[in-house]
Structure 1
Amino acid sequence: MNEQELQDLQKMVEIAVNALEDIKAKDITVLETQEKTSLFARMIIASGDSNRQVKALANNVAVDLKEAGFEILGSEGQDGGEWALVDAGDLVVH
C-alpha cells in the first residue's frame, strides 16, 4: 500500500469505529489483516446487545462511510440482526 492508501484506510477505520461508538457497540477490536489475506487490510469486530442494535450498528457504519466518500461493496446478515457484515473493500466490519 502506498502512503495515500494507508491514510485512506486509517480514515475509514476511524469513521467506522466512531460510527460503532455512536450506537454504543461493545468490545470494538481492530485487526490488521493485510499480512494474512489479500482480501482486506483491516477488520473491525464489535458486539451489540440486541438484534436491533446490531442492525443499527451495521447501518450506521455503512451510512457514515458512504457520507465520507467511501464505497460500500456489500453488506450481509442484517435481516436477522444476529450478525452483520459491512464490506468496504480494504475494511470489513463484523
Structure 2
Amino acid sequence: MTSKFGEKSMNVFPIWLRPLGDLYRVRVDTVEHAKWLLDQLSRSFVFKTAAPLVEAAETSACSFEVPLNPPMSRAKLERLLGAIPEVEMMMGPE
C-alpha cells in the first residue's frame, strides 16, 4: 500500500488525543508510528512547532504535543488526523 505521497504507508495504528488547554497531546503506540505521523502532518500543513517526542517508560508508546492557534484549531487538527487512513483516533486519558 502506498500513501498519497507515493511512499509505503503503515498499517492502521491507534493514536490517543488529549486536549490540554491550548495544545493537544498526541500519544502513539510506537516511536516508529509517531515519527511517521509527524512526517505526514508536516506534509499536510505548516507544522513546525510540535514538542519533541517523549517515550513512555516501560512501554513502546510515545507522545508529542501540538500547540493550537488560529491557523491550527482543535477541529482542523482532528480533521487532518481523521483524514489519514492509517490512523485510528481515540480520545483518552493520555
TM-score by length of 2: 0.45
Q: Greater share of helix residues, 1 or 2?
A: 1
More strand by share: 2
